[in-house]
């Protein structure tokens, strides 16, 4: 394998400065730092966040992700989101998905 990719610039809390620098490999690195083993459900959330960001240039809030998950998981969607990202949607899901730290949100 070639040399490791240089780490893109992150802010003081470890969020990407430029969301377009994100890659799947970076998601794996960020997840490892959070002690999260990425499953299909994690990737579903991450890809939804990325797609919403690409389309609307905004980070979807947890409500939208829960609505997305509920199409597949039904009423367990909210509980599942917090199982996937136990330390919070913003702290973990948004960071792993390569988003900038959402300014207006104080909690997950």
Per-residue pLDDT of the chain (108 residues; tens, 9 = 90+): 445 567 899 999 999 999 999 999 999 999 999 999 999 999 999 999 999 999 999 999 999 999 999 999 999 999 999 999 999 999 999 999 999 987 765 444
CA distances from 80 to 1, 10, 107 (A): 36, 28, 18
Contact 14, 33 (CB under 8 A): yes
Boundaries of every domain in the chain: 19-96
- Match 């104080």 to its residue by tokens: 106
Q: Does the 19-96 domain belong in CATH 1.10.10.370? A: yes
How far from the centroid of its chain's Cα atoms is residue 91's Cα? 8
């Amino acid at each position: 394998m070639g040399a490791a990719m240089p780490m893109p610039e992150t802010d003081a809390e470890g969020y990407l400065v430029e969301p377009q620098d994100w890659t799947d490999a970076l998601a794996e690195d960020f997840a490892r730092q959070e002690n999260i083993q990425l499953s299909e459900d994690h990737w579903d959330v991450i890809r939804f966040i990325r797609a919403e960001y690409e389309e609307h240039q905004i980070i979807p809030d947890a409500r939208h992700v829960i609505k997305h998950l509920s199409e597949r998981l039904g009423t367990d969607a909210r509980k599942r989101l917090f199982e996937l990202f136990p330390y919070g949607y913003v702290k973990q899901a948004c960071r792993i998905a390569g988003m900038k730290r959402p300014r207006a949100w104080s909690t997950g």
